[in-house]
Every structure is written in structure tokens, then in C-alpha cells.
Structure 1
Amino acid sequence: MASPLSSSTIGSHRILFLHPSPLNRRSLFVKPKLPFNRTNSGDFRMRLHSTSSKIGTKELIHSHKSSIESKLNPFEAGTKNLEKLVATMLIFVQVWSPMPLLGLDSAYISPAEAVLYSPDTKVPRTGELALRRAIPANPSMKTIQASLEDISYLLRIPQRKPYGTMESNVKKALKVAIDDKDAILANIPADLKDKGSELYATLIDGKGGLQSLITNIKKQDPDKVSLGLAASLDTVAELELLQASGLSFLLPQQYLNYPRLAGRGIVEITIEKGDGSTFSAESGGDQRKSATIQIVIDGYSAPLTAGNFAKLVTSGAYDGVKLNTVNQAVITEDGSAKVESVSVPLEVMPSGQFEPLYRTPLSVQDGELPVLPLSVYGAVAMAHSENSDEYSSPYQFFFYLYDKRNSGLGGLSFDEGQFSVFGYTTSGRDILGQIKTGDVIKSAKLIEGQDRLILPALNNNSST
């Protein structure tokens, strides 16, 4: 049954809402709470970038009433015009420049608000990067990872690239890897020691290892550096996954009867066109009546959400389910009647924390950011329950089609931190944009991670 849609305008963006039932409506995307206080120039900055009216910048800044100005003598009027000109210039500089205004920066925008609006916000922009950062691994491996990831930003510099800094970063990573070898390998379970030792050797001296990366940096070949860096980071992630044999935190007692995923899993979804058309051909391939995508689901950061989704997949709950396209998302129709399921509490892991928050969305305006951000093309999350935004839907999930043009100045979705993100599309991202309302999930399979899915014998939790 196709879900009816309605729309609302938030800021300058049109937000479409999905209604799971004809009577009790709850939106897929929540309305952002962006308070406006004329005495707070940080809020004014939000207003400037999210106003729904078609008022020009000059009209927004111009707040003096003509009746007042008409009472000024020519000298006073000239002074007022000069003050307005200076104010206009300051606002433009403050909005568009990353530099503080001679110590006055704190009067214009708080550090928390800068997280949302700074173009330099270092939020993971790919699913692979977000998933790598989410692995609860040895601190030494995280130090190595951070040093290598910094090179990714240095490679973006268009002119003279700082190869000296890149080399220093790799040498720092190499020193940590060598000095902390025993600690790195000690965190790997006994039955995986041999594989861990092999990966460690690859990281140090392998074809895509750190020694090889240093050589490529000295040659100052950005393409080879980029490929070598990707290979090294892949090896780092593999080692970290060996170290992370389960959850690094204890679940709250009241949630122990929910299905949970103690690690990572991979779900393969095959989608068919509902109108008889085909998906666009891959490079050198043929037109396809069906297409397959893969998503990695992350139990390290969202064990309950990923576990419930994996349980639904293994029970065949999504086979034959239709898809709907709404603003910046592809969402499943509500087919919860097919299988028994429960509403999982909203589950979000804040960056820098060791365990998720439950039933509590994050406040990006206060500087809170999730480990698994929504602001990534192909992010996979659960819709809200129709009864409460503190719970996720027991069934409906969506692919988020992130578009920076419909986001805040810092590149974050206005809905960041409001949904339980539990994974990312890692293969077939090009398919997502081709999905239309009426297309069908032919099959969904858990092809990896079955051994990490824990299904309690009794699910005594209450549905919300």
C-alpha cells in the first residue's frame, strides 16, 4: 500500500513527509529547531541561511523603520547609513570568513554553532570512513589511523601539496606500529593471531604498507600516494576488526531482551524495477532489470538497531516489499504485518563516547555529533515510530540520499542526530538515485555476520 505524502517548507528547502497510517501521521524527517533571537547574531546567521522567504540579504539586514529614519537630520541620517554599511560588511565577513574578527568572534557565533556551520567540519563524508572510525580498537591503532587519515585532507590541497607533512605523518604511524607491536597483537583473540600477524606484516612492509607509502610520498606522485594510503587504511581497518571481537560496552539491563548485533554484518539487497524499466548499465555492461546493493550494518555503534534489522532480514521480512522515494530518501513501505517485530528505542552513539544514548536525539547546535552520521550519501537508518520519536519504527528503514545543497553551511543535514543510523551502502551507491516509487526489494540477505546476531529466547520488551 503506497504511503500518502504531504509536504512542508523548512527554511528554503521543501521537506516531504511520509505518513505510515491515514490517521496518525508522523514525519520521516523532523522539523529542525532553529530558534531565532535578534540579540544573538549566531542565531541570525542561522536565519540568514534557513529563511523560507525570498528576501535579499540587504532586506534581512535592514531592520530600521522608515518612519524613524525620516525624523533624522541629514547628518544623523548619514551617520546611520555609515553604521549600517559597517554592520553589513561585518556580517558578511563573519559569515563567509573562517577567521575571527579581532577577538569579537565569540560575540557573533559560539563554538557549538560553528560545528554546524563551519565548512571545515571534519565529519566523515563516506560510509567507509565512518565505519572505520566506529571500530572500537586498540588506542595505538587509532593513533595510526588518525595520522593516516590526516593525509587525506592534505591531498585535497590543489597547488603545492605538503609532502613533507605527509611523510612525517606516515613516519609517526610507522613508529607507533613498530613500538606498540606487542600491544597491537595482544588485543587479537588467540584463534585469529596468525591472521593478525600477517596483516601486521602487510601494514609495515607490504605492497600497500607504510614503507611503500613513504616511498610514494618521496616521489611526490599524488595518485600513487592516494592509492597507497587507501591500501594502508584498509589494512588498518582489518586489524582493528580483529581486535574488536564484540561490544565494548554493556547494554542497559532493560534492553537485554532485544535482538542485537555484536559486531559487523553485510546485507545484500536485490531491487527490481516496478514499472518494467531497467537500471542504467554499468561501464561496459548491459541494461539490468534488477540491481544489487550491499550495506554494512554496524553493531558496534547501534547493536539494537542493527540487530533488529538483521533479524528482519533473516526472516524474509523485506522480500517483495515496495519502495517509496521521498525528499532525499528511499524508504520501505510499512510491511510490519508480515513478521513479528518491536520498536527499538532511538539509538545514537555520540562521537567521543563509549556507549550509545537511548531515546535521546543529539543536539548538533550544542556541538554533539554522532559516530555514524546521517550526512553521508547512502546512509541507512530506521524511520521514527508512528507513536513516538523516542523509538524507531519496528520495520521501516530508509536510504538517505545526502545532498549538501540541502544542508547547513557546515554540510550537516538538518536531521543529523535525530535518527538511528546503523550502516552505510558500500556497493551499488549509483543504484540508489535510480530507484523510483513502486520499485521492489526482490530479496534481502544477511551474507555476513550471522554468527554475531544474538537472538534472545524471549523478547519480553514492549512495543511502542
Structure 2
Amino acid sequence: MSPSMASSLSSSTVVTHRILSLHPSPLNRSLLFLKPKLPFSRTVPGDFRMRLHSTSRNCGAKELIPSCNSSIDLKLNPFEAGSKSLEKFVATILIFVQVWSPLPLLGLDSAEAVLYSPDTKVPRSGELALRRAIPANPNMKTIQASLEDISYLLRIPQRKPYGTMESNVKKALKVAIDDKDSILASIPADLKDKGSELYTSLVDGKGGLQALIKSIKNQDPDKVSIGLASSLDTVAELELLQAPGLSFLLPQQYLNYPRLAGRGTVEITIEKGDGSTFQAESGGDQRKSATIQVVIDGFSAPLTAGNFAKLVTSGAYDGAKLNTVNQAVITEDGSGKVESVSVPLEVMPSGQFEPLYRTPLSVQDGELPVLPLSVYGAVAMAHSENSDEYSSPYQFFIYLYDKRNSGLGGLSFDEGQFSVFGYTTAGRDILGQIKTGDIIKSAKLIEGQDRLILPTHNNSSN
């Protein structure tokens, strides 16, 4: 496929997605946001998605493919015009193949492959994303990677590669035993006893690596899955002990912002605004209010998580109304209720040691964030009304990721454009039941208060 055809394909595909999103199916209302215009309105130099979106405003939905570039054809000779028409025709056919077929399209360049490849490996759960975001000892990361590979192997239907799984666990066990001193040396002195307990549990415990090998030899996928989850939980606990604070220095100009030096947990209680009830996930009693828990990550987004934690402790969200749009739940604009600041856009690129500020990622160029938006229950700040280089000083949203509204790689079309700072880890079953008019009864920082750093003089709003 020629470069021009590949470009036409990728661009037209995104335009088709944008136009179709203007007329959502009543069966596909899964996005809940506070202000519909805020979360998805980035304009970035070089961002082909937004250039086409702007152009498409002058074209009706019915004439999307045929006429948007008709003015170009006037400047071409008959041969060039015919070639251009053929390219557009082929691109149109491929667009519909992409939309309606689960098969990947061939011929896309490496940059676009990240967005459109079905093999793009990004975390598909908040727990996995949060675990990968911990800046821990390299040996622990090696153990973690070996175990996480088993999660993919377990998804293989019918005959599972138990031999490969056993090799992965044995590799992790060897690293754990051979590098015990290095692993434990990375833990602060006051946490050594707890670290030793967790290490012993990881190697020889009931839900540890030795037990996991036995389950794999018995070829019991259910027990393997349970044992794997237990081992990975222990790995995450050890890594958190190794990373008590930030692993990088904040830029000097941002030291007067609130910041979270590590992890925190926020508990949010939501009430129905119309007097109805939340349905229990497993057929239990109906509830007038429901609670979710959000783990906020200061390792990758210290300023954004810190500002959010400060707002929570100030009672900024108590009584706030929620709005729902397409794929998100978003709070109302509470500006003026409490003192707040507009934090610079903050995104940690995968493989990097510190976040980028005021700079979105280019997924088309292969950049992926440590904390992806493309996870059901991801929590991020909306954009500032004044500048897309800053987050809103108040409004946050919970993203209700739906793979049907994403690229073939399973990535949101807005991946890398927002400051994601945490994930819903408990109560995800009620997210889809939240409706416009529902109210946050209370929001509390139940863990991480000691990691919240509040400068004496906060920066003024942008």
C-alpha cells in the first residue's frame, strides 16, 4: 500500500469514528462525563485526527467520504484524478472492513500500527496498570514481567501451554532466590520486617511461586489463575515497600503545587439524584447510595494526584452533581467552591523515568502512557477551558472504556491526551448505573494522607 493510501485510510477511519460518535446508538451509551465538550477537544500541532475533524465540520455526514477533498481533484490531470479517486474508493472499502471486521489491516506503517494493531499490549485493568507504574527494584520488575506473561497464556483456549507457564514461574523463582539480598536491600530499614514476611510468602507461601508451579503441573487453569493473582499481589506489595516516594525530581517551576509522593486511596459515595436505587451486581439488596474506591497514583502523576487529593480533603466534591456523556462520568464545574489550581497536563510516557508536562503523547508515533486512558474505570482530569496544556482545576471524569469505540489496537482515540492519575479499583459495577443528576454524597482520602505534600503558597489558577 502506498504511503498516501495508508494516510488516507488512517485519517478517514478516525473521521468516520468522529462522525458516527455524533449519533450514538441507544444501545451504546457507556461514557459518563461532567462537561461533554471538555474531555475530547484537544488540538495538537501535527495531530492528523483533529485536522480532519475540523475539516469535516464543513461536510455533511452523508457526503463524508466522496466530497471532503473534492477541491483537490480540480487541480489534478485526468490520470491523477482517476488515481486519487481509486485511492479514496479503496480507502473507503478498507474503512468499512476495519469497522465491521475483527481482522487487522495490513500495510500500515509502524507509527500507525500502535494505534491499529490488535496486538498492542497495554494494561487492560486498573490493577495491572497501577502495578506496572510502581518504580521498584529491577529484579522485582523481572519477576513481575515473567508472571504477567502467564496471564496472556491463560487466555489461550483449549490446549494451554503449561510448559511455558512453568518455565516462566521457575524463571521468576530463580530471580527471587538468587537476588534475595538485592530485593530486600531496596526496602527501607523501618519496613524490613514486613518486607521479609512478604518475600517468604512470595517464595514459599500458600499463594506463592512454589505453590503456583504445583498448580501448573496439575494443569488446573482455575487454580493457576488464583495462584497467579496471589503471587502478583504479593509482588506489588513488595514493590510498594521499595518505592516509598517519588523516584524523580519535579521541575523547579512546579514545586509550589500540591503533590502526592506515592499512592493514595479515595472513597467516593454516590447517591441517586432521582430517588431511584443502585442495582446490586450479584442480586443483593438495592441501595440508595453506592461506594467506589479510586487508587490515585503519585508515582506517575504527582501533581495531578496531589491536586485531586487536596480537593478531596477540602470537601470540594461533597455534594457535587455528576453528568454522563457517551463514555464517561464527569463532575459539574465547582470553580469557586474551594481554592484550586490549574495543573499542567501531566503524562508519564512508558519507558521514561519522569512525566512530560504540557505535552500530550503521540500514540501514532508509538508513544504510550504508563497510566493509559484505555481502561474501564480510569480517572483523569478534564482539560482547562483556557488551555489544553493544563488540566481543569476541578473537574475530573471516570472513563468507561468501550473497545467498540476504539482503534483496532484497543486504544482510545484520545489516548495520551489527558492527565490520567488513577483507577477505580472497587465498585466498578455501579459506574454504568450512574446517570446525569446523581450526586457525590462524600469523597474521602482514606489512605495516603501522609504522602500528600501541601506547599505553603499554592500556584494561582491558570
> TM-score by structure 1 length?
0.83
1:13 lines up with 2:21 in the alignment: yes
Runs of 4+ in 1 over 3 A off after TM superposition: 15-20, 31-36, 51-60, 95-100
The answer as to whether partners of 2:104 and 2:408 remain within 8 angstroms in 1 is no
Whichever residue aligns with residue 41 of structure 2, its letter is V
Aligned position for 2:48? 35
Correspondence for 2:440: 441
Q: In the alignment, is the contact (CA less than 8 A) between 1:12 and 1:52 conserved in 2?
A: no
Q: In the alignment, what sits opposite 1:103?
A: none
Could you report, residue by residue, the CA deviation over 1:414-454 in whole angstroms, capped at 9, with x for unpaired residues? 11000000000000001110000110000000000000000
**Matching residue's letter, 2:419:** S
Matched with 1:381 is 380
How far the C-alpha of 1:142 sits from its partner, in A, is 0.2
Provide the secondary structure at the position in 1 that maps to 2:392.
Answer: strand
**1:139 equivalenced with 2:150 (yes/no):** no
Counterpart residue number, 1:212: 211
Match of 1:458 in 2: 457
> Aligned pair in 2 of structure 1 residues 55, 315: CA closer, same or farther (>3 Å)?
same
Distance across 2 between alignment mates of 1:322 and 1:57: 40
> Secondary structure of 1:293's match?
strand
What are the residue-to-residue correspondences of 1:97-246 with 2, within 5 Å?
108-246=107-245
Amino acid at match of 2:48: P
The amino acid across from 1:382 in the alignment is M
CA contact under 8 A between 1:382 and 1:419: conserved in structure 2? yes
Match in the other structure for 2:425: 426
Distance 2:432 2:346 in 1: 27
2:10 corresponds in structure 1 to: none
Alignment of 1:336-355 (within 5 A): 336-355=335-354
Over the aligned positions, Cα root-mean-square deviation in angstroms equals 3.4
Number of residues of Structure 1 aligned to a counterpart in Structure 2? 417
Q: Secondary structure at the match of 2:22?
A: strand
**Structure 2 vs 1, CA of residues 19 and 243 (structure 1 numbering), >3 Å: closer, same or farther?**
closer
Give the Å deviation of 1:463. Answer: 1.5
Higher-Rg structure is 1
Q: Given residue 306 of structure 2, which amino acid in structure 1 is its aligned partner?
A: G
Deviation at 1:53, TM superposition (A): 5.1
More contact order relative to length (CA 8 Å, sep ≥ 6): 2
Instruction: Work out the CA distance in 2 between the residues paired with 1:151 and 1:157.
Output: 10
Q: Secondary structure at the match of 2:237?
A: helix
Q: For the Cα contact (< 8 Å) 1:119–1:411, is it kept in 2? A: yes
Match of 2:280 in 1: 281
Encode CA deviations 1:353-377: one digit per residue, 9 max, x unaligned: 0000000000100100000000000
What letter corresponds to residue 10 of structure 1 in structure 2?
R
Structure 2, unaligned runs of 5 or more? 1-15, 24-30, 53-58
| Cα gap change, 1:128 to 1:175, in 2 (>3 Å) | same
- The secondary structure found in structure 2 opposite 1:336 is coil
Letter in 1 for 2:461: S
AA at the equivalent of 1:30: S
The corresponding residue for 1:47 is none
Letter in 1 for 2:269: T
What's 1:39 paired with?
Answer: none
Q: Displacement of 1:14 after TM fit?
A: 2.6
Q: Structure 2 CA distance, aligned partners of 1:168 and 1:57? A: 51
Partner in structure 2 of residue 391 of structure 1: 390
Query: Cα distance 1:436–1:322, how it changes in 2: closer, same or farther (>3 A)?
Result: same
Query: How far apart, in 2, do the equivalents of 1:32 and 1:408 lie?
Result: 19
Q: TM-score, normalised by structure 2?
A: 0.83
Q: Deviations over 1:46-94 (max 9, x none)?
A: xxxxx9957999999xxx99x979xx9xxxxxxxx9xx99x989x979x
Kindly state the Cα deviation for residue 10 of structure 1 after the two structures are TM-superposed.
1.2
Match of 2:331 in 1: 332
Q: Secondary structure at the match of 1:368?
A: coil
Report Cα offsets for 1:273-332 as digits up to 9, x if no partner.
000000002425211000000000000000000000000000111001100001201000
